[in-house]
């Protein structure tokens, strides 16, 4: 349906342009001729009223007896406007910034949010912007608001928070397609801010904190498991090597002495006392 309307609008513009010469009729040509003669008679004073300057970033859509002149918009530079028969409308081709105020949006998962954004667009066809819509900037602004609400209403809160850039590109494509018939090119769409209720913020913060604590517990449990494996392997090695066990005793004594303790526990192997007892009995 949108494509059919677009084609109809283009046909209307083309018909008005190609049929200009036969549309004004004989009376129209007489009026144009009189106007041109009036310009010649009143030279050079008529130059100030007939010559208009169109800036580099502007185009002029000229109407002659109510019909758009054929071909395309005039400018930049000097253009000739005949008195009484011609009128013109200046169209600014520079990029326009459209700030979308905060919109109340109900997401797919039934969460009420406020979302605002920015739309950057420019006019690429001055004739379409003048002939197809009464106020192109107001129409684009209202369409941007409704498109933002419609697109974001199909997304969940998690998708809004995680996929801003992707959603913005989707809104840009929808807007660009809808405003093509108005001679508009949407250059960029940005989602500025997403506001959620305070209760929802607290819930999300609690969920994030619980998830972080769970990850910390998993890391701690993993560390304890690795430490227990290392201790088990060390105990096996020490059990197989008595000399290694004695070295461990000496290392422990060195550690205790370095801490300035008044009492030193000196662990000795039990078999050492047995050998001393046997020597005393033998003596």
Q: pLDDT tens, position by position, for the chain (283 residues)? A: 444 444 455 554 555 444 444 567 788 788 888 888 888 888 887 888 888 999 999 999 999 888 888 778 998 999 989 888 889 999 999 999 999 999 999 889 888 899 999 999 999 999 999 999 999 999 999 999 999 999 999 999 889 988 899 999 999 999 999 999 999 999 999 999 988 877 766 666 667 677 777 888 888 888 888 878 877 777 776 666 666 666 666 676 667 666 665 665 555 554 554 555 555 555 5
**Residues 28, 82 within the same domain:** yes
Task: Write down the pLDDT at residue 260.
Answer: 61
80, 147 in Cβ contact below 8 A?
no
Among residues 200, 222, 248, which one ends one of the domains? Answer: 200
**Residues 115, 77 within the same domain:** no
Which pTM value belongs to this model?
0.65
In a domain, 221, yes or no: no
Among residues 200, 224, 248, which one ends one of the domains? Answer: 200
Residues 6 or more apart whose Cβ sits within 8 Å of residue 121: 95, 96, 98, 140, 175, 179, 184, 185, 186, 187
In a domain, 256, yes or no: yes
**Residues 85, 141 within the same domain:** no
**Residues 88, 51 within the same domain:** yes
**Residues 6, 82 within the same domain:** yes
**Residues 27, 66 within the same domain:** yes
Give me the torsion for CA of 224, 228, 234, 237, rounded to 10°: -160
Q: Is 105 helix (H, G, I), strand (E, B) or coil?
A: strand
- Quote the CA–CA distance of 183 and 179 in Å, as a whole number: 7
Residues 6 or more apart whose Cβ sits within 8 Å of residue 116: 99, 100, 101, 102, 103, 191, 192, 193
- Quote the CA–CA distance of 141 and 178 in Å, as a whole number: 12
Q: Nearest Cα to 187, choosing from 123, 236, 250?
A: 123
Task: Write down the pLDDT at residue 76.
Answer: 92
**Residues 63, 103 within the same domain:** no
**Residues 175, 250 within the same domain:** no
Among residues 200, 228, 261, which one ends one of the domains? Answer: 200
CATH of residue 105? 3.30.479.30
**Residues 172, 107 within the same domain:** yes
Q: Where are the beta strands (DSSP E) in 126-252?
A: 184-195
In a domain, 230, yes or no: no
- Quote the CA–CA distance of 16 and 68 in Å, as a whole number: 7
In a domain, 86, yes or no: yes
**Residues 103, 181 within the same domain:** yes
Residues 6 or more apart whose Cβ sits within 8 Å of residue 249: 267
In a domain, 217, yes or no: no
Domain that holds residue 79: 2-92
In a domain, 229, yes or no: no
**Residues 13, 61 within the same domain:** yes
**H-helix or E-strand spanning residue 101:** strand 96-106
**Residues 104, 193 within the same domain:** yes
Per the structure, how many domains does the chain have?
A: 3
In a domain, 235, yes or no: no
In a domain, 134, yes or no: yes
């Amino acid at each position: 349906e949108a494509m059919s309307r677009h084609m109809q609008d283009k046909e209307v513009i083309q018909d008005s342009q190609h049929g200009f010469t036969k549309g004004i009729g004989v009376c129209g040509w007489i009026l144009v001729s009189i106007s041109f003669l009036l310009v010649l008679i009143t030279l050079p004073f008529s130059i100030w009223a007939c010559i208009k300057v169109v800036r580099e970033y502007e185009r002029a859509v000229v109407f002659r007896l109510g019909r758009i002149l054929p071909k395309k918009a005039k400018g930049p530079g000097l253009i000739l406007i005949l008195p009484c028969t011609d009128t013109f409308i200046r169209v600014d081709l520079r990029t326009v910034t459209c700030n979308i105020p905060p919109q109340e949006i109900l997401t797919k998962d039934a969460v009420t949010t406020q979302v605002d954004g920015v739309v950057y667009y420019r006019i690429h066809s001055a004739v379409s912007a003048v002939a197809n819509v009464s106020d192109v900037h107001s129409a684009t602004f209202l369409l941007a608001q409704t498109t933002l609400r419609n697109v974001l209403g199909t997304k969940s809160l998690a998708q809004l928070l995680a996929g801003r850039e992707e959603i913005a590109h989707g809104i840009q494509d929808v807007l660009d397609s809808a405003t093509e018939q108005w001679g508009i090119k949407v250059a960029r769409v940005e989602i500025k801010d997403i506001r959620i209720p305070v209760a929802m913020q607290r819930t999300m913060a609690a969920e994030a904190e619980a998830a972080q604590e769970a990850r910390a517990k998993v890391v701690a449990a993993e560390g304890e498991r690795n430490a227990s494996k290392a201790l088990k392997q060390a105990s096996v090695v020490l059990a197989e090597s008595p000399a290694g066990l004695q070295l461990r005793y000496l290392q422990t004594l060195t550690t205790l002495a370095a801490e300035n303790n008044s009492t030193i526990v000196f662990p000795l192997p039990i078999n050492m006392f047995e050998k001393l007892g046997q020597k005393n009995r033998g003596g």
